[in-house]
Structures are given as C-alpha cells and as structure tokens.
C-alpha cells in the first residue's frame, strides 16, 4: 500500500497494467465549525488536488466514487454538493479532465444503514441499544459489501479510480491483492486530526 504523503512522484512503469485505487479521506465541516477548522478543511482539499496531480503519472483517474453518492453524472454532483461541497472542486476538476462520477451507494444498503445509525443516536436503554446495534452492524456490513463489489467491478486492468470515503469505512474494504491502494494524505490531514483530538480532550 503506497502513501502519497511519503513519495513525490511514483515511477509509472512500476504500476503499469495494475488496478489502482487512490483513496482520499472524506473530510467535511461539522455544524457550527469554528473558522480555524474551516480553514483547515479548505487547505486540506486544496492539498488533495495537488497531491492527486503528483500521483496521476502512475495512472490517470478515469472513474470517481464518493461515499453517500447514489447516482452518477450531474445528479451525483448534486448529491455530493449536499454531502460535502468542499470535495466538489476536486471531483469537478477530474471530470473536466475526462473522468466520470459513478454511483457508489445503493438505496437498498445505504438507507437501512442510515436509519439504524440514527436509531442508535436516540436509544436510551441497554436492552434496546444492543438489539439496534445488531441490526446496525448487519446493515453496515451489507453496505460495505456493496461498496466493495462496486469498486472491484468498475476497476479494470490498468485503470485508476478515485475513492473519497471515511478512513474507518475504507479500511473495512477487502479488495483483491491486484488492486494497488494509494493513501492520499497531505500534511494538513495530520493537522486536522490533531485539532480534532485536542478539541475532544477539552470537551471531556
């Protein structure tokens, strides 16, 4: 597994003919985020765009997948705008360069996952929580399985695909050994994580 934060430009010949998955953590703003965090998020996505340009000698991005997006093309871009508008410039740039946005999710797997996740947020008793957690876990695995199948099916020999997805979920994917995974981790990503950890300490 390659990590772009540790290499400048990959030797394209090393990855010739291999399936390549460029993974970007889906960083987004939370409600009432302070200006400091907003600036970090904006810087993160600017750096992601620059790092992808450095990575593409190994394979030009031809397909794009974003978590939460159930449609392709313009409809998918509208969905992405509602999910994370800061990722939109990166996706639009790659589309202008010839890539296509494809649906990653399906309502059949995403809908129940969101419903059970919302239920977990409101339950109060341990008995009910344990039951809801079981259903949530089942829905989560079905969703991850669907995403995994979509990526594998749509990444052909020699192709490069961009995946924008939360790290915790991305790490649950069990992709074939012939898929070369690149983690796009610009310097601002560590700064973002550190900022979030510090705020969490302050709130406990």
Residue 9 is predicted with a pLDDT of 58
CA dist 18 and 177 (Å) reads: 10
The secondary structure of residue 172, as a DSSP letter, is: T
The secondary structure of residue 100, as a DSSP letter, is: E
Mean pLDDT for back-to-back runs of 10 residues, the chain (204 residues): 48 79 94 91 97 93 98 96 96 98 98 96 92 97 97 95 97 92 94 89 73
Ranges of H-type helices in 6-125: 35-55, 73-83, 88-96, 107-122
User: What is the token pair recorded at 61?
Assistant: 């991005």
Residue 122 is predicted with a pLDDT of 93
Residue 32 is predicted with a pLDDT of 86
For 142, how many CA atoms within 13 A lie in the half-sphere containing its CB? 16
Residue 12 is predicted with a pLDDT of 64
Residue 46 is predicted with a pLDDT of 97
Q: Which of helix, strand or coil describes residue 48? A: helix
Residue 7 is predicted with a pLDDT of 42
Residue 2 is predicted with a pLDDT of 46
Whole-model pTM: value is: 0.91
Reading phi first (left if > 0) and then psi (alpha if -120 to 50, else beta), residue 158 is in left
Q: Which residue has the tokens 């339950």?
A: 123
């Amino acid at each position: 597994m390659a990590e772009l934060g540790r290499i400048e430009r990959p030797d394209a010949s090393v990855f010739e003919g291999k399936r390549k998955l460029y993974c970007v953590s889906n960083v987004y703003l939370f409600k009432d985020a302070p200006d400091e965090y907003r600036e970090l998020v904006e810087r993160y996505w600017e750096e992601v765009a620059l790092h992808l340009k450095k990575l593409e000698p190994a394979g030009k991005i031809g397909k794009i997948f974003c978590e939460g997006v159930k449609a392709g093309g313009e409809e998918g871009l509208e969905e992405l705008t509602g999910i994370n508008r800061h990722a939109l410039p990166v996706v639009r740039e790659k589309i202008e360069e010839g890539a296509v946005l494809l649906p990653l999710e399906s309502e059949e797997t995403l809908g129940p996952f969101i419903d059970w996740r919302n239920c977990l947020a409101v339950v109060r008793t341990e008995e009910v929580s344990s039951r809801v957690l079981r259903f949530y876990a089942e829905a989560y695995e079905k969703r991850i399985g669907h995403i995994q199948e979509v990526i594998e099916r749509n990444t052909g020999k020699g192709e490069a695909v961009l995946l924008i997805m939360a790290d915790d979920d991305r790490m649950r994917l069990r992709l074939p050994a012939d898929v070369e995974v690149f983690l796009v981790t610009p310097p601002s990503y560590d700064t973002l994580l550190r900022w979030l950890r510090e705020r969490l300490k302050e709130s406990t």
